[in-house]
Homo-oligomer: A and B are copies of this chain.
C-alpha cells in the first residue's frame, strides 16, 4: 500500500484537521463524534441538510458543507457508514427550528444507521425527514433486494436541496425536491484499477493489466461485468446507453450531466469522456444544460469514472444555478 499518511487509524481525523485548518472560513469540525458543520450553523428558520457516509469519497460529503449546500456532513470510517451518534450530533447542530433533511445513500449500513439516528433525534423533538438516494443503474432494482446503490445523484441532490433550503423552502418541499432529483437521476461507474482501504492495506480487488470493471460501486464493490479495456467511446457508450434507457431519457430532454472521476483518473481523461458523452447525447437529441466535470464522489485512489444524468426542468436549473460556497463547489452570488 502506498499512501501519504501516518498511521492508517488516524487518516480520517488528521484529514479532518486539514479540512478544519484550510476552510475555517466555511466550516468547523468536531471530532467526538466526528462531524463537519457549516460555520454559521444552525441557520435560524432554515431547513438543515445533513448527509454523510463512509469516508474515502472526498470531496463528498464534507467538501459540500457551506452556504447553499449541506449544513453538516458525517464522515464515517473509510467506506463504512457513520454511526448514529454522529448523525444525531449533526442533526442537533444544524436544527434551526425548521427541521432537518437527511440525504442518505442507499446502502444497508447507511440506511439503518440513519434510521436509528432519526429515531433518536425525533425522540428529542427535532423534525427529521430522510430521503434515500438510489440512482445506480448498474444494480438491478427490485422490491426483494437492497435495491440500487446511491452514487452521483447524491451530489446533485445536495446542491439542489441546499439551494431550496437557502431560499426558505420548508422541510416537506425540500424533501420532495430531493425525491424528485433522485427519481430523475441515473448513474453508472467503471474502474480501471482498484482502491486500497488504508486499514486493509491491500487492493480491494485484483484486476488484470488489460481489464476494466463496468458498473463498479464507489466502495470498490465489483460491478456488472469484467471485460477487456475498451476505447473511451465504447466505455461511454455502454454506460450512457444503460443510463439513458433506464429512466428513460428521451429526445428533447435537457439534462444536468456530471462526469465524475473516481480519484485516480486525471482531468485530461475526464474531459475526453465528457466529449464522448456530449456526442452520445447529441445523437439521442438530449441537450446538456449544465455540467460538472471533475472529482466529486470518489473511491480513494481508484482509476475510473462515472456518469450521472439528471433530467432537468426550469425549477431544477434555477436551483442548480443558485449561489453555492463550499470547499469543493462554489459559484454564483
Contacts and interface: CB of A to CB of B under 8 A. Distances in A.
B2 A271 contact: no
Interface stretch (A122-130, A147-155, A247-255, A296-304): A296-304
Interface in A1-25: 2-6, 11-12, 14-19, 21-22
Total identical chains: 2
A3 B18 CA distance: 31
A282 to B, nearest CB: 9
Say what secondary structure dominates the interface of chain A.
mixed
A331 interface: yes
Nearest to A323: B333
A265 interface: yes
Contacts of A271: 15-16, 18-19, 22, 58
Contact of A4 (B232, B263, B331): B232
Interface string A309-331: 00000000000000000000011
B295 A22 contact: no
Contacts of A12: 268
B266 A56 contact: yes
Contact of A58 (B235, B267, B275): B267
Contact of A2 (B15, B19, B193): B193
A2 B235 CA distance: 13
A5 B230 CA distance: 9
